[in-house]
Amino acid sequence: MKKLRKGHGSLEKTETRDAWIMMTPAIICLLVVAVYPILRTFWLSLHEMVLTDPGSGYPFRGLSNYAAILKDTRAMEAILFTLKFTVVTVFFELLIGFTSALIMNKGFKAKGLVRAAILIPWAIPTSVSAMMWKFIYNDQYGLFNDILTRLGVIDGYKAWLSTSSGSFLALVITDIWKTAPYMALLILAGLQMVPDEMYEAAKIDGANVFQRFRFVTLPTVKTTVLVALLFRTLDAFRVFDLISVMTGGANGTESISVYAYNNLMKFLDFGYGSSLAVLIFIVVFIISLIYMKLMGDKLTEF
């Protein structure tokens, strides 16, 4: 028995050693690609590093860059806009995505074709769809103005991207058009995991449509919905390319990611820009922790 246990222990150690050997290349790549840039960005955020003034010597400033964010009116406006954009887009994407998923979950002809077609907006690169919608919103030949004029909603063509409210509306519509299908397919995957027997049992017990939705559908797809919300919330808060292409951050539409990019690449202030990037990382991390807490142990079952 002792020899068997010894052999078993040796085999287990050998498997553990082989597993670490096989994982080593992936770990090294992760350290180089992900961990090092994060640590480097945090180090830069603690220094005053303006490339237009190389003679300064890049002195250590501690948390002064982070304190400057609290006093920066433009940064605060960018954070508030980002939060507003995130809440509005994610809410409507969940509403539209859930409704679309419920419809696609029903049996009808060509549902496979519909499911494939609904992915087209999400499959288009964001920069391409943003440029396409920018033409649609054009104040001289845009399709958006033409449709609203024919319907009698507006009297004449408007420059939607020249005002704060118009730019925000345009960005929200574009983002919903592109990412609501992604939300729908994620939720659809959860709906297909609900056994038909549960609905049949609920019908026998006298539950109506709304009761079956509340007590059967929602509890079953809760984890799937939270996962979908997690992905979309993180993407919406880090929005960059959509705003960069459509408005460039003008008219009060500058997100925190766009503002961080402007400081890094346009103003060449790597210290302050890095502190903004670290702030985005911290907020994203906190959002992830909140969703993880809501999902709890069910995340491992997903």
The domain locations on the chain are 73-126+174-301
How buried is residue 44: exposed, middle or buried, by Cβ count under 10 Å (0-12/13-18/19+)?
Answer: buried
Beta partners for residue 47, in sequence order: 60
Whose structure tokens read 């050693």?
17
From residue 205, give the alpha-carbon distance in Å to each of 5, 199, 214, 219.
56, 10, 14, 18
d(CA 105, CA 115): 10
Specify the pLDDT at position 191. 85
To 10 degrees, what angle do helices 164-191 and 126-136 make? 130
For residue 29, the tally of other CB atoms under 10 A from its CB is 10
Q: Please report the DSSP string for 250-272 in residue order.
A: TTTT--HHHHHHIIIIIS-BHHH
The answer to whether the predicted template modeling score (pTM) of the entire model surpasses 0.75 is: yes
d(CA 15, CA 9): 10
Of the CA atoms within 13 Å of residue 182, those in its CB half-sphere come to 18
Q: Please report the DSSP string for 177-241 in residue order.
A: HHHHHHHHHHHHHHHTTS-HHHHHHHHHTT--HHHHIIIIIHHHHHHHHHHHHHHHHHHHHT--H
- Residue range 73-126+174-301 forms a domain whose CATH class is mainly alpha
Query: How is residue 198 written in tokens?
Result: 């549960």
Identify whether the C-beta of residue 181 lies closer than 8 Å to the C-beta of residue 121: yes
d(CA 20, CA 38): 24
Specify the pLDDT at position 4. 45
Mean pLDDT (10-residue bins), the chain, 302 residues: 52 81 87 85 88 77 90 93 94 92 79 80 90 91 88 85 91 94 88 79 77 80 87 91 91 92 89 92 89 66 47
Q: What are phi and psi of 85, to 5 degrees?
A: -60, -40
Listed residue (299, 261, 235) closest to 82, CA to CA: 235
Identify whether the C-beta of residue 227 lies closer than 8 Å to the C-beta of residue 244: no
Query: How is residue 121 written in tokens?
Result: 């907006």
